[in-house]
Amino acid sequence: MKVLIVDDAPTVRSLVKTTLEAMGITVLGASNGKEALDMAKREGFTLIISDINMPVMNGLEFLKAFRSFNRRTPFLVLTTESDPEKKEAAKRLGATGWIVKPFRPQDLSNVVRRFAR
């Protein structure tokens, strides 16, 4: 099982990494959409978790590009607001679901357990 975490904040990446590695999941990190896209083109992931606001290429652009060649891999977006319109927009671009920041490690592992099978 391999999860890709995309966030420009190293703290978020390391939080996700520690939480998921404790569940026996391999975690790879990327700090922006472009980096992530290159990785996702090279190798397959069980699940992708991506922040939305990032430099170079944001999460929604990454999602859109990713869905153009992969419609199967679950893709969760990290969002700071629970604004339904944002969620709807993410869904339209092909997001499987979302995790609202800030989240507890426990929330994260619950969601990941459901979508990385």
Partner 1 sequence: MKWQEKLPRPLKEHENLYLIRFNLGPEVFNRGIRIEWYIEDLKSLGELILEVQKERLPADDEVAEDCCYIAEALLISEEPEGTIKELLEFILDDGVHIETISARGSSQEPSEEKAEPTEGIPEQILNDYLVETAEHLNSIENSLVRLEQQAGEPSLLNELFRQFHTMKGNTGLLLSFGPNAALEVLKRIAHCSETMLARARDEHGQLSEEEIDTLFEALDALRECFRCFKEGKALDDRFEGLIARLSASPAEGERVDSKTSDVSDEELRAFKEIFLQYGSILDELANKQELSADEQEFFERALGTLRKSAENLKQKRITELLQTVKAPSDLKGIMTHISNELGKRTSKSHESQRKSTKTDAIQLESSIRVTQEQMDRLMNLVGELTAFREWLKWFVQHGDETWAKQKQLREQIQRYSRLVAEVQRTAMEMRMVPVYMLFQRFPKVVRDISKALGKKVQFEIIGENTRIDKLMLDRLGEPLIHLIRNSLDHGIEFPQERMAQGKPEAGRLLLRAFYSAEGVVIEVEDDGRGIDPDMVRLKAVEKGLRSEEEVMKLSDEEVISLIMLPGFSTKEEATELSGRGVGMDAVSSSVEAMGGKVKISSRQGEGTLVKLILPLTLAVRKVLIIRSGELLFSLPVEQLREVVNRPTFQWVADRPFMVHRNEAIPVVPLSSIFGLGNSDVVEAKKVILLKEREEGILVDEVVGLTETVTKPMPRALKTVEGLAGVSILGKGDIAYQLSL
Q: How far apart are CA 84 and CA 106, in angstroms?
A: 23
Which of 42/117 has CB closer to partner 1?
Answer: 117
Q: Residue 115, interface with partner 1 (CB under 8 A)?
A: yes
Per-position x/- string for 7-26, each x denoting binding to partner 1 as judged by CB under 8 A, each - no binding: --------------------
Per rule CB under 8 A, count of chain residues that contact partner 1: 17
Closest distance to partner 1 from the beta carbon of 17 (Å): 22
Q: Which of residues 42-81 bind partner 1 (CB under 8 A)?
A: 64, 67, 71-75
Q: How far apart are CA 110 and CA 108, in angstroms?
A: 5
Q: How far apart are CA 89 and CA 60, in angstroms?
A: 9
DSSP state, residue 51: E
Is residue 79 classed as helix, strand or coil in its secondary structure?
strand
In the block, residue with structure tokens 């607001």: 81
Positions in the binding site for partner 1 (CB under 8 A): 64, 67, 71-75, 88, 91, 94-98, 114-115, 117
